[in-house]
Structure 1
Amino acid sequence: MELDGEPAGHRLRPDAPDQRDIDVYRALSADIASGVAVVSARWRNRDYAATVSGFLSVSYDPPTMLVSLFEESRICDAVASSGTWALSLLAARHQGTANWLASPGNPVEGLLNQVPYRRGPATGAAVIGGAPAWFELRTTAVHPAATHLLIVGAVLAMGRDAPGAESADPLIHFASSYQRLGR
């Protein structure tokens, strides 16, 4: 692979990356395919939610997950402060929801007015309607990482809201845009 006519590799400056390093990293990391989900929290009688693609299953025993959130975002404050949160995986049909909850400057009041959701049984956080899988979590650890916080949570409840055919059609983020898995 060439990067703007350069050989395949790009070496970062050891002291601190410059703008070119950041741009090359952004271009290359866009080729990491990942699932798309909504993380949500109920804090101070208000709903918070945002689209995320930085999440993973950490352990099956005990069931544990991790989400990466921009430290200066409202959702990060809500998740870190509330101590409980939900993660709803999105199906391809949820692209509009993903776009809406990824938009900067969303209103605090009425954020979920146009999003189909229900309350999770363990935390009361919003669970997106028709989610191929959803998880409710209690925060067990928070780790700073560059501009983000890695929030680890123990699973309190989980389930599936989508019919079988929709579960097989997840929303994927790849090459800086939403894609379908292509089944």
Structure 2
Amino acid sequence: MTAASPPRPVAAGRPVIVVMGVSGSGKSTVGGLLAERLGVPYAEADDFHPAANIAKMSAGHPLDDTDRAPWLAAIADWIAERGDRGGVVSCSALRRRYRDRLRQAGPPLFFVHLDGPEELIAARLAARMQHFMPTGLLQSQIETLEPLEPDEAGAVVPIEGGPQQIADRALAALPATPV
């Protein structure tokens, strides 16, 4: 099992934690657990998608930057409302420019990139019930993913094991700054 990468520094203040990664990596589950353990609000990025985006993905078509723009803007608005109180939001945040857009919201952000083998993620996607994201779009997400860069506050967290184990690793990867 791969160890979590060491956390990169985050700006002063209480960051909003963005749990990122491809669909099926566990963003919603781990994000909810982190928020619960930290005692901060949680937002599910899927809830910010316009109906047209959900319909497009449900039909097996990947989103493009035009589709993602209002979704990212809505998530950024939620982040901006957090101020210095902290919070957790799940968001694929696959490209650097998407993460840059979220950073424009104002509060400091810390990205927890949930990462693991494609086979494990595909198996988790196949087992999901009542979710609009088909397994067939996983490859397009993997191809779109741009890993965190050294100047981005965040850490890569392996997704092997159960949700509680992954949440434990994510908590350990958070910066020392209290959230």
TM-score clears 0.5 = no
In terms of fraction of residues, the more strand-rich structure is 1
TM-score tier, shorter chain, comes to under 0.3
Relative contact order, CA 8 A, sep 6+: which one is greater?
2
TM-score (norm 2): 0.25
- Greater CA radius of gyration, 1 or 2? 1
In terms of fraction of residues, the more helix-rich structure is 2
TM-score (norm 1): 0.25
